[in-house]
Amino acid sequence: MGLLDQAIGEFDRHMKVERNLSEHTRDAYLTDLRQFQTFLAETGLKSEPAAGMDEAIPVDPLVIRSFLASLYRGKYRKVTVSRKVAALRSFYRYLHREGKVSLNPAELVQLPRCEKYVPVVLSVDEMLALLRVNFPEDATGRRDRTMIELFYSAGIRLSELTGIDLGDIRSSEGLVKVRGKGRKERIVPVGRPALQALEAYLQKRPELRKEGADQDAENALFLSTRGKRMNPKGVARVVERVVRESGIGRKISPHALRHTFATHLLDAGADLRSIQEMLGHRSLSTTQKYTSVSVSRLMEIYDRSHPRAGGGKELR
Number of domains in the chain: 2
Catalytic residue among 46, 255, 289, 302: 255
**Whether residue 135 sits in one domain with residue 11:** no
Per the domain annotation, does 279 fall within a domain? yes
- Residue 181 annotated in active site: yes
Judge whether residue 122 has pLDDT over 70: yes
Tell me the residue range of the domain where 165 lies.
124-258+273-284
Nearby residues of 266 by Cβ (< 8 Å), 6 or more positions away: 272, 275, 290, 291, 294, 297
Taking alpha carbons only, the member of 114, 33, 117, 39 closest to residue 76 is 114
Judge whether residue 12 has pLDDT over 60: yes
**Whether residue 49 sits in one domain with residue 7:** yes
pLDDT value of residue 308: 59
* End position of a domain, from candidates 50, 76, 108: 108
Catalytic residue among 19, 177, 181, 204: 181
- Residue 157 annotated in active site: yes
Per the domain annotation, does 304 fall within a domain? no
CATH number, position 45: 1.10.150.130
Say if residues 229 and 222 touch (Cβ distance below 8 Å). yes
**Whether residue 249 sits in one domain with residue 128:** yes
Question: 315 pLDDT band (50/70/90 cuts)?
Answer: very low
Per the domain annotation, does 314 fall within a domain? no
Catalytic residue among 157, 205, 229, 264: 157
Per the domain annotation, does 142 fall within a domain? yes
pLDDT value of residue 29: 92
**Mean local confidence (pLDDT), 277-287:** 72
- Residue 258 annotated in active site: yes
Catalytic residue among 84, 258, 259, 264: 258
Per the domain annotation, does 41 fall within a domain? yes
pLDDT value of residue 52: 47
- Residue 96 annotated in active site: no
| Residue-wise DSSP of 60-110 | -HHHHHHHHHHHHHTT--HHHHHHHHHHHHHHHHHHHHTTSSSS-GGGGSP
**Mean local confidence (pLDDT), 227-252:** 93
CATH number, position 172: 1.10.443.10
pLDDT value of residue 184: 79
pTM over 0.75: no
Per the domain annotation, does 34 fall within a domain? yes
Per the domain annotation, does 305 fall within a domain? no
